[in-house]
Structures are given as C-alpha cells and as structure tokens.
C-alpha cells in the first residue's frame, strides 16, 4: 500500500513540481551504525538511505542504479529548521515524531525497535516527498543538495547561518506580546490550528487505549484454543470438532497483530497532521510577530511626532520625564531646543522609512502566507478524507476476517 | 413416559451389565418411598452374572445402552418459567416465578397448569429427586446467591438469569425419563401453594434424614475397596471435565471483561470525531459520518457482550455445577458400595443375627446393583445431553459473532459508499 501511495503522490498532477518531473525520490532502507558522538562516547544510531533516480530512466525501462546517500534523523531536523527559518510564511511539512508517543502497551516506545524504525523510514520518505511536491520548497538549493550531496552538505547548510536564526525565531515565537490589529483570517487559522492539535491528540490517545483493549480481547481467545485442545483429549465424539475449533480460536487470536499494525499506519497519518497543525500555528504566530513589529514601529513614530509637536509649540500634552525636569529645573535654551528638534526630525524620517518597510513586509507576508495556507487547506482536506476512507477499509477487512474465522469455528462446533 | 430403555445384552462383544428392561413400574414405587432399603428383591432388576467392569465407550453401544427419544413430536410435556414477581411480607421479601405446564399425559388431571413457585420450592424438588435417586444425575439449579460481582438478589439481570436457569432446570427434569414421572415433580407443577407446603411437610422426618446422613458419613469414612474400573474411569473423566469446563467459564468471563473495557474506550471515539467535525468545513461531513459509524459499532459490541453474558456463560456455569453433581453422584455410589462391602465383611466375621444380616446384605447388594446400573444409564444419557447443550451453545456463540461482524461490516461499507458517490460526483478521487 505504501508503494502505491508514493507513486500516487508523485504522479498526482497537482504535485508535479519541476523537481518531481525530473527525479524519483525514496527512502529505501534503514541501517544501524555505531560511532563516536560529539562528547567522544560510543553511540548507536540509525541511518536512512535516500535514493534518487532520474524519471526518464525508469520509464525507459533501463533501470540504472539509483544515486544514494545515507542520512540520519538529526540531519533531517537540520534541513527542516533551515526551511522553517528561510520560508517563515510557508506551512513547512513536519518530520515523523522524534519519540514514539500515543503508544499502546504492546507497541514499543524504543527508538531502536525495528517496527518504529520502519515507520520512521516511511515518515521520512513522506517528508521528502511533501517538500519535493511543494511549489516553493521544491526549488530550494539546500534541499536539492540534501538529496544529492553526501559530503559537504552539513557545511553548506551551516554557512547559511540558519542555526542562529532558528534560535532567535523560536524565542520570538514563544514570547508573549499583544497585537492590536491582527489579520482576522490568521487569527481564525491560529485558532483552528489549536483546535486541530487538541482534537487529534485526543483521538490518538483514545485510539491507542482502544487498540490496547482490542488486543486483549483477541488474545484471550487464544485460551479457548488451549482449553479446547485439552478438553478434546478426554472426549470421544466431541474430540475432533473441539480440536479443530481450537485451531480457529488460535488463528483469531493471532490475527490481531496484523490488524493493529495496519491501524498504526492510520495513526501515523493523523500524527502528520497533528504536527502540521503546529507548523500552521507557527505561520500564524509569525504573522502576529510581523504585525506586532509594524505596530511597534508605528507607535514609536506616532510618539516621536507628538514629541516634535510639543517641542515646537511648547505645550506639554504627554508626560515626559524631560518635560517634568525642565519644568522643575527651568526651561532649556533655544539652542538646546533646536538640537532636539533636529534629532527628532531625523528619527521621524527614519521611523517613517521603517514603518513603510515593515508595512511592506507585513503585506508581503500576508499575501504569500495566505496562498500557502489555502494550498495547505486543500491538501489537508484531501489527505484526511483519504485517511478516513482507508480507516473504513481497514475496519471492513477486520470484519471480513472475523466473519471467516467464526464461520469456520461454527462448522467445527457443529461437528462436536 | 418420555423415554424407553433397551436391553443391550446382545449388542456388542464386551457387554456391560444388563440394564433393567422396564423400570417404569419401579420408578413410581421408589418415589413414594424415601427409604432406599425398601427396594424389592426383584430379579429383573439385577443380573449379577454379567457384571462387567469395563465401561462401554463405543458410540454404537452407548446409544444402544440407553435410548430415549427427545424429539419434539414425541414430547408430551412443556414447561415454562417466567413472569417473576416480588412478594413482600412482614418477615421477608422474595421472588416467585410463574410455572406453566402443558401436557397430554394421562397421569395429569388436566392439560394445563399454572402455579407460582419460589426458589426454595425448586431446591426442595431437587433435594427430593436426589434423595429418591442418589445415583441419577439431577441438573443443577442456579446458585443461591452470587457473591462475586456483588449481585443483589433483586437486581433485574440477576432475576432474569435465574429465571432462565430455573426454566432450563425444569425442562431438563421434564426430559429425563425417570425424573419426569416423579410424583414430587407432578406435585411441583400442579399443586396450589398450600397443597405444596403440606406435601413438603410429609417428607422424611428429621430423624430419618439424620439416619441417612449418618449412614452416608459412615460409609464415606469406611471408603470403598474394590471400585469397578469403569467408575474409576468415570471419576477421572469427571475430574478432567470439571477442570476444563471451569477453565472455559473463566476464559469466557475474561473475554466479557475485556470486551467491556474495549467498549468503554470505543465509546469515546465517536464523540471525538464529532467534536473534530465542528472545526472543519469540507471534512465535517465525512467526520460526522465516521462518528456515526463508530457509535453504531459500539451498539453492536454492546449487544454482543450482552449475548455472551446471557447465553454462553450461564450454560458453561451450569456445566461447572454439573461436574460437582457428578462428583457427588459418584461419591454416593461409592458409599453404597462401601456399605455393601461392610455388610459382606460383617456377615463373614460376626456370628450372631446371621439371618438378619444376610437379609441386610441381600438388600445392600440389590441396592448396589441398582445404583450401578442406574448410574451407567444416566451417565450415557447425561453425556449425550451435555454434548448437545455445549455444542449448541458454542454454535450459537459463533453465529452471533458472525452476525456481529456482518453488522459492523455493513456500517463501514455504507460509509465507503457515501464517500464514493460524493467523490465521484466531485471528480476528486479516483477509486480505480
């Protein structure tokens, strides 16, 4: 199912960026490595094989060996941080979770667990495809070299200075400030992002608990298998029927493993949008920040203009320490006043420039961000609907298995 | 009488002891006498020569040993237990059940009867049947009081479960070739409350019952020396069967518990999808739809759990009690044999009262012969009934599970269908 999805993703007309028209991208494998880390201690980590293959080669049927390189999760993180900082007005696709969350008891929370690694591999591939199918992100040079340059990429990305920007960005987004006139649409989107995050978290939690319980129900039926088998040993005519019914009970108990593995895939789809909600909120926050900075500059300009007016007319309308002290200690000399006025004029000029600049930034941001948000909305609606459909298909498959097992058991029971 | 007995002395190579050809006459006599020692020394009852220790196990011989027709067309008595009602007196509160009988049997004065009975009355009937036939297998009654799970005596579910069990109990009695002709059974089904009370009082006096108990204890202490192999095998089977059926009971109860916990979690899923739909525009409809589907599956799961509790568990539980009954029956048989062995020894060693002792010994021998034969026939009958009961209980359970999955399947398929017609209409999704 994954293969088909990947092909569908790459082949979908809407996602045919020029990058994807050129190359096929996949994260084909995962491997364990050991090495020395930054503090010179032994560590084990996983690396993922990124394969790229020119599109025409595949269609020609020659099937040459793809280009490939190995990357670890932390490098993917660096790439994403770079993208966040460079395109703050875009809803940047999320990475698969760093640590396993919303696990039900049988599922391992261990990062080295092979099932987790496999699901992460799929998630990383999905991330790369999302970026590659984004009209703006797919053209980024750093992204391209991430896919194609094994050595030197780290240095290249560091040279962009994104790390420092990433740190200050995080700080700014988490700061508390109040915006007077945010764009209504962005305020609504931020609210939506909050709600989406909250409801998907709740759904994932409930689902994990239900999966746990379902596991219990199926596995207990395995006990039927054991007892039927033991009972059949002491019976004459009933023996065969009981014995074979027992086998079906064992099969029933075993079937839950596949069922829940498939459901994990559905959970991963939900998780992607849980993290997407975060990315969406970040864009709205960024808008608030730019708006706030504009408002601060405008406020500053207004106050400077006011000061100039007061100085010029000699009236003090606004309270200022200078004003009070001058009242107390006497007026300043005309020369002093002249100097001050001149300084204010310069500041006002600079302030007007700043306001103009910031206003432009704000408008620019709002425009590009809203385009991407609309694109994101459409993608989300499409993807989540698909996810719900695949959930229904999973439920149907589970029901069909149940019908089969119990019909078989019924036949055996009637032979008791 | 709803059962007939066939003599099997000719049927197969290793024959077992001959089964009485016609015990109907003896049955009525027995029921009137509570004291087992009043067995008449009738040679048709016993055939000491062909007493063979090995137990018949081949299907053919089992059927031949004790054939009785349980077909609906030959059934001539129908009993139902329903309509529980609570009665409050100054001293106590109790429940009575309506017991309705429809019969064409000549020994009944009328063809329809309706009486009200309480649990105590059922206990009395069971006791009477056990006393009269110590080595026949009486179907168990539901327990007096369920301590585990803190079920209240007057809880609706408890009363309903008990009612069903009482219904099954009476039907098992009615289907039993010997019990169904019991006078006590007839009185139970037909007598007005006052009549029943006075009949109950006619039972064996306190002293006589005491005497029986003392005898039983003495016999138990003595222990049996030469238990025939077939009864030892029976005991081994009963031990194993008891374990297995108890395990099944426990496993089934565990399944019910797990299902209930699953249901608790599942119940939160639907509302979460519904909550989500409130924040969405395009997705609102499919999300609401999924919420509805999950809720419907919840209802089906709830019903499935209820079925398991109401149908399978009571049957398994009854057979757990049956195993105990079987153990008791085997013990009683052992006691009768022990008594016979003791009397044999007494005759060999004591000098005085030889005539009385010889009489006693003969009676004890008869009683033993009778007990063994009765047990063997009823054992065969019981196994057949057990097989039928458990088979149909499990088949029933399997059918219900299939039906459960079929209903859930339909729910999700209707969701898919609604999404397909939507999608193809909008030209959004290609399902090919």
Give B385 to chain A, closest Cα distance, Å: 12
Cβ neighbours for A33, distance < 8 A, ≥ 6 positions apart: A44, A45, A46, A47, A72
Is residue B111, in this structure, part of any structural domain at all? Answer: yes
Summarize the confidence of residues B397-410 as an average pLDDT: 97
Q: Which residues of B306-329 are buried (b: 16+ CB within 10 A; e: fewer)?
A: ebbbeebbbbbbbbbbbbebbeeb
- How far apart are alpha carbons A125 and A117 in whole angstroms? 12
Give the pLDDT score at A127: 96
How does residue B24 score in pLDDT terms, banded at 50, 70 and 90?
A: very low
B287 and B175 in a single domain? The answer is: no
Per residue in B107-166, pLDDT (tens digit) is 888 889 999 999 999 999 999 999 888 889 999 998 876 555 555 566 788 888 899 999
**Residue B409 structure tokens:** 């399947």
Per residue in A214-266, pLDDT (tens digit) is 999 999 999 999 999 999 999 988 899 999 999 999 999 999 999 998 999 99
B178 and B241 in a single domain? The answer is: no
Is residue B209, in this structure, part of any structural domain at all? Answer: no
Phi, psi dihedrals of residue A67, rounded to the nearest 5°:
-75, 145
**Residue A377 structure tokens:** 């909305």
B374 and B274 in a single domain? The answer is: yes
Give the pLDDT score at A111: 76
pTM of the model: 0.80
Longest CA–CA span in chain B (Å) reads: 109
Is residue B181, in this structure, part of any structural domain at all? Answer: yes
Number of domains in chain B: 2
* CB contacts < 8 A (A, B): 146
B330 and B234 in a single domain? The answer is: yes
Contacts with A, B 283-302, CB within 8 Å:
283, 286-287, 290, 293, 297
Q: Which among B170, B204, B238 is the end of a domain?
A: B204
B146 and B250 in a single domain? The answer is: no
Domains, chain A, ordered by start: 180-313+342-415 (1.20.1270.60)
Is residue B119, in this structure, part of any structural domain at all? Answer: yes
B253 and B194 in a single domain? The answer is: no
Is residue B14, in this structure, part of any structural domain at all? Answer: no
B416 and B361 in a single domain? The answer is: yes
Give A192 to chain B, closest Cα distance, Å: 7
Q: Which among B140, B172, B204 is the end of a domain?
A: B204
Give the pLDDT score at A267: 94
Is residue B217, in this structure, part of any structural domain at all? Answer: no
Residue owning tokens 């209903």: B407
Give B261 to chain A, closest Cα distance, Å: 6
| CB-based contact A392 B293, cutoff 8 Å | yes
Among A231, A406, A416, select the one facing B244 at the smallest CB separation: A231
Nearest-Cα residue of chain B relative to residue A8: B430
B285 and B386 in a single domain? The answer is: yes
B108 and B240 in a single domain? The answer is: no
B179 and B229 in a single domain? The answer is: no
Count of CB atoms situated within 10 Å of the CB of A307: 21
B101 and B155 in a single domain? The answer is: yes
Contacts with A, B 32-61, CB within 8 Å:
57, 59
Phi, psi dihedrals of residue B205, rounded to the nearest 5°:
-65, 165
Is residue B147, in this structure, part of any structural domain at all? Answer: yes
Among B237, B258, B266, select the one facing A234 at the smallest CB separation: B237
Supply the range of the domain harboring residue B137: 77-204
Contacts with B, A 395-414, CB within 8 Å:
395-396, 399-400, 402-403, 406-407, 409-410, 413-414
Q: The domain that contains B244 carries what CATH number?
A: 1.20.1270.60
B241 touches chain A (CB under 8 A): yes
Per residue in B166-208, pLDDT (tens digit) is 999 999 999 998 998 899 999 999 888 788 888 877 766 555 6
Is residue B313, in this structure, part of any structural domain at all? Answer: yes
% of chain B surpassing 90 pLDDT: 47
- Cα B316 to chain center, whole Å? 9
- How far apart are alpha carbons A185 and B252 in whole angstroms? 56
Q: Are B365 and B340 in contact (CB under 8 A)?
A: yes
**Residue A172 structure tokens:** 């700014």
**Residue A364 structure tokens:** 């620019």
Q: In the predicted model, is pLDDT for residue B310 greater than 50?
A: yes
Q: The domain that contains B167 carries what CATH number?
A: 3.30.1520.10
Q: Angle formed by the axes of helices A184-234 and A334-414, to 10°? A: 20
């Amino acid at each position: 199912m994954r293969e088909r999805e990947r092909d569908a993703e790459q082949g979908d007309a809407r996602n045919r960026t020029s990058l994807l028209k050129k190359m096929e991208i996949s994260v084909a494998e995962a491997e364990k490595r050991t090495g020395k880390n930054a503090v010179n201690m032994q560590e084990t980590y996983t690396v993922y094989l990124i394969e790229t293959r020119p599109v025409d080669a595949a269609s020609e049927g020659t099937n040459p060996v793809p280009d490939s390189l190995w990357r670890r999760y932390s490098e993917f993180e660096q790439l994403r941080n770079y993208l966040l900082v460079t395109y703050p007005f875009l809803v940047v696709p999320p990475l698969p979770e760093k640590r396993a969350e919303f696990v039900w008891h049988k599922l391992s929370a261990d990062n080295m667990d092979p099932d987790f690694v496999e699901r992460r591999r799929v998630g990383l591939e999905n991330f790369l495809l999302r970026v590659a199918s984004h009209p703006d992100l797919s053209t980024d040079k750093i992204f391209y070299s991430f896919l194609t340059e094994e050595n030197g990429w780290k240095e290249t990305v560091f040279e962009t200075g994104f790390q420092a920007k990433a740190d200050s960005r995080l700080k700014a987004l988490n700061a508390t400030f109040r915006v007077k006139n945010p764009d209504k649409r962005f305020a609504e989107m931020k609210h939506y992002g909050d709600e989406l995050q909250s409801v998907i978290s709740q759904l994932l939690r409930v689902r994990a608990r239900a999966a746990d319980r379902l596991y219990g129900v199926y596995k207990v039926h395995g006990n039927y298998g054991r007892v039927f088998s033991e009972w059949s040993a002491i019976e004459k005519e009933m023996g065969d029927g009981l014995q074979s019914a027992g086998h079906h009970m064992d099969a029933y108990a075993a079937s839950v493993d596949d069922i829940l593995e498939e459901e994990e895939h559905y959970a991963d789809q939900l998780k992607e949008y849980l993290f997407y909600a975060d990315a969406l909120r970040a864009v709205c926050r960024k808008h608030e920040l730019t708006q706030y900075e504009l408002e601060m500059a405008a406020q500053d300009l207004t106050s400077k203009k006011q000061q100039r007016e007061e100085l010029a007319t000699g009236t003090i309308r606004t309270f200022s320490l200078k004003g009070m002290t001058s009242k107390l200690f006497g007026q300043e000399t005309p020369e002093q006043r002249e100097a001050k006025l001149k300084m204010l004029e310069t500041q006002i000029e600079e302030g007007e420039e700043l306001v103009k600049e910031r206003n432009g930034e704000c408008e620019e941001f709002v425009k590009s961000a809203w385009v991407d948000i609309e694109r994101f909305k459409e993608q989300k609606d499409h993807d989540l609907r698909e996810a719900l459909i695949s959930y229904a298909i999973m439920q149907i498959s589970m029901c069909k298995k149940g019908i089969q097992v119990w019909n078989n058991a019924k036949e055996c029971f009637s032979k008791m | 009488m709803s059962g007939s007995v066939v003599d099997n002395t000719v049927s197969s190579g290793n024959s077992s002891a001959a089964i009485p050809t016609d015990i109907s006459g003896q049955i009525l006599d027995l029921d009137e006498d509570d004291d087992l020692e009043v067995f008449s020394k009738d040679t048709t009852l016993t055939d000491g020569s062909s007493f063979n220790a090995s137990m018949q196990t081949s299907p053919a011989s089992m059927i031949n040993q004790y054939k009785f027709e349980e077909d609906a067309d030959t059934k001539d008595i129908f009993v139902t237990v329903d309509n529980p009602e609570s009665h409050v007196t100054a001293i106590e509160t109790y429940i009575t059940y309506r017991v309705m009988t429809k019969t064409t049997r000549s020994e009944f004065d009328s063809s329809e009867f309706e009486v009200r009975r309480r649990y105590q009355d059922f206990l009395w009937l069971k006791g009477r049947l056990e006393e009269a036939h110590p080595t026949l297998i009486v179907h168990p009654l539901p327990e007096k009081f369920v301590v585990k799970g803190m079920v209240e005596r007057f809880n609706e579910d408890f009363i309903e479960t008990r009612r069903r069990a009482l219904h099954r109990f009476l039907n098992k009695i009615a289907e039993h070739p010997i019990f169904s002709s019991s006078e006590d059974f007839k009185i139970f089904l037909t007598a007005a409350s006052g009549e029943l009370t006075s009949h109950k009082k006619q039972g064996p006096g306190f002293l006589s019952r005491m005497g029986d108990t003392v005898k039983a204890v003495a016999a138990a202490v003595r222990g049996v020396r030469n238990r025939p192999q077939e009864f030892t095998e029976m005991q081994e089977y009963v031990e194993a069967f008891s374990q297995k059926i108890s395990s099944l009971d426990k496993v089934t109860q565990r399944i019910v518990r797990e299902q209930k916990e699953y249901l608790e979690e599942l119940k939160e899923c639907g509302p979460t999808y519904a909550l989500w739909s409130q924040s969405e525009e395009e997705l609102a409809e499919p999300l609401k739809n999924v919420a509805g589907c999950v809720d419907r599956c919840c209802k089906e799961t709830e019903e499935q759990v209820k079925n398991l509790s109401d149908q399978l568990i009571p049957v398994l539980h009854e057979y757990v009690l049956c195993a105990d009954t079987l153990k008791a029956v085997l013990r009683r048989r052992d006691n009768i044999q022990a008594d016979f062995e003791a009397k044999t020894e007494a005759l060999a060693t004591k000098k005085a009262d030889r005539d009385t002792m010889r009489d006693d010994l003969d009676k004890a021998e008869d009683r033993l012969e009778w007990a063994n034969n009765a047990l063997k026939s009823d054992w065969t009958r019981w196994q057949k009934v057990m097989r039928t009961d458990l088979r149909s209980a499990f088949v029933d359970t399997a059918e219900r599970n299939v039906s459960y999955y079929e209903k859930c399947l339909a729910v999700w398929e209707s969701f898919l269908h609604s999404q397909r017609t939507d999608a193809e209409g909008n030209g959004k999704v290609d399902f090919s």
